[in-house]
Structure 1
């Protein structure tokens, strides 16, 4: 651990006290919690940074949106607006945030909305669409004013909560014991193969309770890229290109492309990065094919950069995918 991190231990103790007191006040009913009249399913994580929530929500919508009238409520990280807003496929990026807009474009039949106050957001959604049958809540695990019906908690294979520490020493927003409230735990960004012994050891270290279901997943990139034309990835990577990423952890994508034998220059920007005119001009001046993620493409859509390809990503369960679907189906039906 870095020396400067160790110096933050006193602040960690203070942070832990505030977090635990807040949880206690809600748990004992001193502060009331809102319970929605329809099933609400939280997809969240204990740590800051990208654990793969959006690909999981995308997976859930692909499986359930044709069977049920679903909604998704997000905070809308990075948006310039405040309060409640519905998100349509042509909504202004600055008003709704990149991830909600991307999901709205991929799932136009799903009622998408943003609101920092989750209870108020749910009430607004039900007023505007009384036919909603369930709502997925993106990154609302720490929003204690809401009492969800079902919790899906994510942790990455590379940095699980048992190998992390509470802020500001580590990256955890609340103590790892908070994971005991989860109904499902999903380990994301795993290697494509994990032997039974390793997964069993990982499960023990997570310290799950008997009723909690555990699943291991990996990111699965598409075998084609989309731009002015759709090209097989194996054809696209034959030419040197520039990879642009403004996501929390691009390493998985970088490693995947290297595994395809690709020759590329990687330009990495912070998560949710808004590209400046100067940056766009520099990209155009490179005069090479450009590849980016679906999330970054949302932020590039109205820029002067018109020629680029995107690569999509999904979630692949290493085993027991149907068991995961069945558990979520049961939560939606109940």
Structure 2
């Protein structure tokens, strides 16, 4: 822990009165939804929501990608995100010439990796869903990205994520803590996934976490770890494995780079880092700084590494990147305790039951 960490922590504690005000607003809002003073819309469509109770990275993007891989061969799937930090507003459906500036980095990543999936953005989900269904009337499943706290749309299947190292049960409201919703809201979820667990998590550790969360009788709880795959070049898609001889320049603009740094520390000989704010919009000067840091390394075993989210924000510099060894590191969720199939079956059962019931006269 460094001085800046303690300084930030002390500053957040001083903001405790604002957390109380924020918490009161959140609790009041939830009360009004629960008592139906505020209405939630339901759609005649299987809607799966992926979200969390806190800010920061809990693994929502890899979870959405997991669902897309699981469902895309059997169903016409669409994703709907807010499109955070994009330069546009309102509803938009991704097309061949869409950029990350128009729809945001996570939706652009979905569009880039799953071109057969309808990828849409819109701040108001209740408005965007009818527009999406109008544009893609053959849609059979909608996945809402980061929408658990947006209660204007009532999803039929809610997947709540919580970071193993920062469980929502130990957190507090913003800005002192990271919670943007109250802890009790976890009860709305059908599935809870504890993400970013150590791959070596034991049954005993699993029980401790489960007992702390206290899932309801009808809730299902799963545990996942982050699995990094082989890096590939951001433009050419050529793969390159990380070796213990490599000296790497790591740059990224994500909420929680700690797991990535830990992984790189284990795999590479050394690495230097350039960390940017979450969802940072890269400039040509940023790229020059990254290249300069790379050129300073004397070793021939060297390359530049970033995340897939950051990679899609760099595509506007395609000409410059063609001649630079900039690789992106894919990441997936790995279900622990051999429970991936049980999760898959729950998701597919929800969709199939929904379609069966909708056909019943």
Matched, 1:230 2:233: no
Cα distance per residue 1:268-318 (max 9 Å; x no partner): 111111112222112222325211111111011112343211221111111
Q: CA deviation at 1:111?
A: 0.8
Residue in 1 that maps onto 2:347: 328
Matched, 1:278 2:292: no
Aligned partners of 2:263, 2:279: CA distance in 1, in Å? 21
Name structure 1 gaps, 5 residues minimum: none
Residue in 2 that maps onto 1:290: 304
Matched, 1:310 2:300: no
RMSD of aligned alpha carbons: 1.6
Residue in 2 that maps onto 1:201: 208
Aligned partners of 2:60, 2:237: CA distance in 1, in Å? 29
Aligned partners of 1:300, 1:14: CA distance in 2, in Å? 39
Matched, 1:143 2:123: no
Q: CA deviation at 1:53?
A: 0.2
Q: CA deviation at 1:89?
A: 5.1
Residues 9, 64 of structure 1: alpha-carbon distance in 2 compared, 3 angstrom cutoff: same
Give the counterpart of 2:90 among 55, 80, 83: 83
Secondary structure (helix, strand or coil) at the match of 1:152 reads strand
Q: How does 1:185-264 map to 2 (within 5 A)?
A: 185-226=192-233, 228=236, 230-235=238-243, 238-264=245-271
Name structure 2 gaps, 5 residues minimum: 1-5, 296-301, 355-361
Cα distance per residue 1:58-106 (max 9 Å; x no partner): 0110011110011100000001111100013531221100110011111
Residue in 1 that maps onto 2:3: none
Aligned partners of 1:21, 1:229: CA distance in 2, in Å? 49
Aligned partners of 2:201, 2:248: CA distance in 1, in Å? 32
Residues 238, 89 of structure 1: alpha-carbon distance in 2 compared, 3 angstrom cutoff: farther
Aligned partners of 1:109, 1:247: CA distance in 2, in Å? 26
CA contact (8 A) 1:79 1:95 kept: yes
Aligned partners of 1:165, 1:305: CA distance in 2, in Å? 42
Cα distance per residue 1:10-35 (max 9 Å; x no partner): 22222222112111222222222111
Q: CA deviation at 1:146?
A: 0.9
Residue in 2 that maps onto 1:96: 103
Moved more, 281-290 or 221-230: 221-230
CA contact (8 A) 1:284 1:305 kept: no
Equivalences, count:
333
Aligned partners of 2:18, 2:34: CA distance in 1, in Å? 24
Aligned partners of 2:242, 2:46: CA distance in 1, in Å? 43
